[in-house]
Amino acid sequence: MLAGLLLTSACAAPDAPATGPTAREVGAVLDRRADAVLDHDPDAYLGALAPGATKLRATQRTELANLADIPLKSWTYEVKAVTEHGADKVTADVELRYRIAGYDTAPIATRRTLELTRTGAGDRWYITADRPGEGAADQLWQQGDVQVVRGTHSLVLGVGRDPGELRRVAETEDLAVPAVSAAWPQPWAGRVVVLVPDSVEDMAKLLGSPEASYRGIAAVTTGEVGGSGRRPALADRVIINPQAYAMLGTFGQRVVLTHETTHVATRPRTSTATPMWLSEGFADWTAYREEGRPVPEIAPELAAAVRRGELPAALPADDDFAFGGDPGKLARAYEGGWLACALIADRWGEEKLIAFYEAVGDHPGRDGAVEQAMGEVLETTPQDFTAYWRDYLSAELG
């Protein structure tokens, strides 16, 4: 349950906006709608909807009310494609982007598919349907009224949860942020948005993935890794599974949120070149860094394997971190990654660990990334490092 997950965002691809007179007309409708969201103006917001779309108007009124307490800095729509169905009906593929004031330096993006009809006085376009785009996940305000709790370094947004529970999450996150800053000295926002849905089912909907993937997983981080630099990065969110998170004690909850917050802080230096053992291992190393717990207590699955004479032959592969399989194998992967990072910190020093992480992430691709960084930063080879790691496991866990 202490495991976290580094996800790439399921946000829209960086395609160009649609052009043409119809796209511009639809865009003008959505610009007025975006202004209405920021102005908290229900009448203007609903004014973009077809007067006869009774069910849609009721749903949209509720959603607008649900997000009323979220401190929005920006809310924009961009029309990506328009399909015309005759002269007066279109389907528009739209990207919604929004930022939370004081927390997001980059937006969250999601796809919407809208149907519009041109009718009435002034030949206006009205929205007749509004649904998630293909592959798009839920947004929190679509699941209910969003409660907002502000911490010193955190903003916690919850649906259907007790306010005291949300306050405790904020207090724990406020401990996690300084712990991450102490371990990761590179500049980062130092603020985190945490989402607490009502259930694991709702958590899965926010992630656009099957519910079974997250049962027993206390929290995950969403965000974008491996960006090319051709478009802005997208904001991170820590999403809590309230049932699994509640089963953890104070120590476990602190470890989980520190782990996930590490992913937020290290995101700019994490890329597709970064293996899972390094990204997850570094997050765990940060989370356990000042806890003072015995190594076998933190790595019980791997300790049991070592004592059985089953010393791993190689560092964990990315596939070893897949959820839904053998939970013991998954735990050993996380524990092995943590101990690999602990080895670097102990043998070469914490500064070298950070430099190694950055060097791997800065490599243009996966091939050769670890090998080059080990040679340049640690002055070793993957073969020798693996041997050091196996000796370290035997010494710490045997």
Of 137, 159, 191, which residue sits at a domain end?
A: 137
E strand intervals along 13-153: 72-84, 89-100, 108-119, 124-132, 146-150
**Distance between CA atoms of residues 182 and 193, nearest Å:** 19
**Distance between CA atoms of residues 100 and 72, nearest Å:** 5
Measured from the Cβ of residue 226, the count of other Cβ atoms closer than 10 Å reads 13
Determine, yes or no, domain membership for 237. no
Determine, yes or no, domain membership for 176. no
**Beta carbons of 387 and 334 less than 8 angstroms apart:** no
Q: What is the pLDDT of residue 225?
A: 60
CB-side neighbour CA atoms (13 Å) of 235: 23
Q: What is the pLDDT of residue 282?
A: 98
Residue 344, token pair as written in the block = 């670097």
Number of structural domains in the chain:
2
Q: What is the pLDDT of residue 140?
A: 96
**Beta carbons of 305 and 311 less than 8 angstroms apart:** yes
115-139 pLDDT, tens digit per residue, is: 999 986 668 899 999 999 988 989 9
Of 84, 113, 137, which residue sits at a domain end?
A: 137
Residue with token string 């989370």: 287
**Distance between CA atoms of residues 278 and 270, nearest Å:** 10
Residue 175's φ and ψ, nearest 5 degrees, are -85, -35
Dihedral class, residue 216 (left if φ above 0, else alpha if ψ from -120 to 50, else beta)? left
Which residue stretches of the chain have pLDDT < 50?
1-13, 227-232
Q: What is the pLDDT of residue 15?
A: 65
Q: What is the pLDDT of residue 227?
A: 44
Determine, yes or no, domain membership for 33. yes
**Distance between CA atoms of residues 252 and 267, nearest Å:** 23
Determine, yes or no, domain membership for 239. no
**Beta carbons of 109 and 234 less than 8 angstroms apart:** yes
E strand intervals along the chain: 72-84, 89-100, 108-119, 124-132, 146-150, 154-159, 192-196, 219-222, 237-240
pTM over 0.85: yes
Residue 100, token pair as written in the block = 């939370």
Determine, yes or no, domain membership for 211. no
Residue 86, token pair as written in the block = 């005759």
Residue 379, token pair as written in the block = 């002055």
Q: What is the pLDDT of residue 304?
A: 97
Of 113, 137, 161, which residue sits at a domain end?
A: 137
On the 0-12 / 13-18 / 19+ scale of CB atoms within 10 A, 224 is: buried
Percent with pLDDT over 90 in the chain: 82
Sheet with 154-159: strands ordered across: 146-150, 154-159, 192-196, 237-240, 219-222
Domain residues for the domain of 70 are: 21-137
Determine, yes or no, domain membership for 352. yes
Domain of residue 106, CATH code: 3.10.450.50
